[in-house]
């Protein structure tokens, strides 16, 4: 177990970061809990609150056409390059106060800890408008804009109320025609994201911070088993075409396959049976499948196996089955030099680093398509996330800020930073 020591000043800054996260958690679409989706009204409140914190640093944020909050802290030269630091500001329903948001607030804390010091590069704090995929069932809208992957098809996706992404942007007072202007500038050095682990590994190891070396790829799909609805009391068991029974058998097969393959996670998170009456055999079942693995070919192989199992079970039970793919996101390796900097920064902060793979998707995997990227995980007490019980240790937050400052120093002295600062 790593024993960490922190100063009173570090604790005070960490406590302020935590309080700011709690404040942002009050900006919600649902009274009594935290839920903040893509360009919803509470996102304006977030932008306003964060703008106030940045004003004290002389930094004025802007909002790009994809709804991302962006604030640039200049470097020591007028032509200096920039390092992006941030995370996402949207949440899942009934969320905790730290997932995503901590990465944005901690970035601002880093600027404050610099105390006016200028680096060979500038720092752009970014609060992504959308990462969770809640409103439009499409994740990473905010970070996709930075890599040029918000196209007409995405702009036309609609939410449950029939509002398109394009209309949501317009209703927020932004112009969707300006989305291309959100793309990363050529002077971008890379991207650093602080994030809670959302799992139990660091806590089990007794380590406050971890360096993410890769992010697992994922696939999200929906399946529908179709049978025949009929009376529960008059239809003999051997003559039934029960969609629930078929779906249930398939779910067990999914679990077996996931347990067989090391590192694979498979989750059926949604299950909707119709007509949904106690005395009626279900004629139709809609369900979801979420697959993740750090190796894309392993994940793709498991996907084929599970879909074959669904077809076999359906055929044997007199059912039909169909599926559609909502998302396929390739696994992402973090930049090796940035990961080394992250490890060294964590070590310089007095903590033993742990290199790890993230099973959850993050904006860093999108930014990694275009620029060097790295993540630093903070220990998550109890491994709880996407839940109001989500929390962080104040000492871990203090160490994350310290590690962040070491990362900036390491990057400032690296050949990459010096070369980019003179060629930007």
For the chain, which residues make up each domain, given as ranges? Answer: 8-216+331-423, 217-329
Task: For residue 4, name the pLDDT band (cuts at 50, 70, 90).
Answer: low
Task: Give the pLDDT mean for 98-126.
Answer: 97
Report residue 213 as tokens. Answer: 């070396």
- What gap in Å lies between CA 9 and CA 3, rounded to an integer? 18
Residue 420 pLDDT exceeds 60? no
In the structure, what pLDDT confidence band is assigned to residue 424 with cuts at 50, 70 and 90? very low
pLDDT at 394 over 90: yes
Could you tell me what percent of the chain has a pLDDT over 90? 93
φ, ψ of residue 99 to 5 degrees: the values are -60, 115
Output the CA–CA distances (angstroms, integers) from residue 165 to 100, 158, 160, in the order listed.
Answer: 21, 6, 12
Question: What digits encode the pLDDT tens for the residues 190-213?
Answer: 999 999 999 999 999 999 999 999
Once rounded to an integer, what is the mean pLDDT over residues 9-15? 96
Structure tokens that stand for 52 in this block:
């106030």
Q: For residue 79, what pLDDT is reported?
A: 82
The average pLDDT across 332-344 equals 97
- Return all residues near 72 (Cβ < 8 A) that are at least 6 apart: 59, 82, 122, 123, 124, 125
Reading the block at residue 423, the tokens are: 């060629």
Flag whether pLDDT at 270 surpasses 80.
yes
Band of residue 419 on the pLDDT scale cut at 50, 70, 90: low
* H/E run at residue 194: strand 188-196
- The mean pLDDT value of the chain amounts to 95
| Distance (Å, whole) CA 385 – CA 392 | 10
Class in CATH terms, 217-329? alpha beta
Give the CA angle between residues 420, 124, 166 to the nearest 5°.
115
Q: What is the mean pLDDT of residues 176-185?
A: 97
Q: Is the pLDDT confidence value at 301 over 50?
A: yes
Distance CA 141, CA 67 (A): 9
| pLDDT over 70 at 2, yes or no | no
What backbone torsions phi and psi does residue 56 show, to the nearest 5 degrees?
Answer: -65, -20
Which pLDDT tens digit goes with each residue over 44-103? 999 999 999 999 999 999 999 999 999 999 998 888 899 999 999 999 999 999 999 999
Q: Indicate the CATH number for domain 8-216+331-423.
A: 3.40.630.10
Cis peptide bond N-terminal to 275, omega within 30 = yes
* pLDDT tens digits along 128-151: 999 999 999 899 999 999 999 999
Q: Mean pLDDT over residues 275-281, rounded?
A: 97
Check: CB of residue 267 under 8 Å from CB of residue 259.
no
Strands, E, within 56-182: which ranges? 62-63, 69-73, 82-88, 122-128
What tokens appear for 11 in the block? Answer: 């604790």
176: Cβ contacts below 8 Å, ≥ 6 apart: 65, 155, 165, 166, 169, 170
Coil, strand, or helix at residue 228? Answer: coil
Give 91's contacts (C-beta < 8 A, 6+ positions apart): 34, 35, 36, 37, 99, 100, 101, 132, 134
CB within 8 Å of 70: residues ≥ 6 apart:
61, 62, 63, 64, 124, 125, 126, 127
Which pLDDT value is given to residue 179?
98
């Amino acid at each position: 177990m790593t024993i960490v020591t922190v100063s009173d000043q570090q604790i005070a800054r960490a406590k302020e970061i935590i309080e700011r996260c709690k404040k942002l958690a009050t900006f919600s679409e649902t009274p009594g809990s935290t839920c903040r989706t893509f360009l919803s009204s509470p996102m304006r409140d977030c932008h306003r609150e964060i703008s106030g914190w940045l004003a004290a640093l002389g930094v004025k944020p802007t909002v790009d056409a994809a709804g991302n909050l962006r604030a640039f802290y200049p470097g020591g030269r007028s032509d200096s390059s920039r390092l992006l630091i941030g995370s996402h500001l949207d949440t899942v329903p009934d969320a905790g106060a730290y997932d995503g948001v901590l990465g944005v607030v901690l970035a601002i804390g880093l600027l404050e800890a610099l105390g006016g010091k200028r680096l060979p590069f500038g720092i752009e704090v970014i609060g992504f408008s959308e990462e969770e995929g809640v409103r439009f069932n499409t994740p990473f809208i905010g970070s996709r804009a930075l890599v040029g992957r918000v196209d007409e098809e995405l702009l036309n996706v609609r939410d449950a109320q029939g509002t398109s992404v394009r209309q949501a942007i317009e209703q927020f007072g932004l112009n969707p025609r300006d989305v291309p202007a959100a793309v990363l500038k050529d002077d971008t050095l890379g991207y650093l994201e602080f994030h809670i682990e959302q799992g139990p590994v660091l806590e089990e190891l007794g380590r406050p911070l971890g360096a993410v070396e890769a992010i697992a790829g994922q696939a999200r799909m929906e399946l529908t088993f179709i049978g025949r609805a009929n009376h529960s009391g008059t239809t003999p068991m051997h003559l039934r075409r029960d969609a629930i029974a078929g779906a249930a058998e398939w779910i067990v097969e999914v679990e077996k396959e996931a347990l067989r393959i090391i590192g694979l996670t498979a989750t059926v998170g949604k299950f909707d049976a119709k007509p949904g009456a106690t005395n009626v055999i279900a004629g139709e079942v809609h369900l979801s499948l979420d697959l993740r693995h750090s190796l894309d070919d392993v994940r793709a192989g498991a996907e084929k196996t599970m879909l074959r199992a669904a077809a076999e079970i359906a055929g044997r039970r007199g059912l039909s089955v169909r599926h559609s793919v909502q998302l396929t996101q390739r696994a992402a390796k973090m930049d090796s030099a940035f990961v080394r900097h992250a490890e060294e920064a964590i070590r310089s902060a007095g903590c033993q680093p742990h290199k790890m793979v993230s099973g959850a998707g993050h904006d860093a995997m999108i930014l990694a398509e275009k620029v060097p990227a790295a993540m630093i995980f903070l220990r998550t007490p109890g491994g709880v996330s996407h839940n109001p019980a989500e929390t962080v240790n104040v000492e871990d937050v203090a160490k994350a800020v310290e590690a962040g400052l070491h990362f900036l120093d390491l990057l400032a002295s690296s050949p990459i930073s010096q070369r980019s600062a003179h060629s930007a």
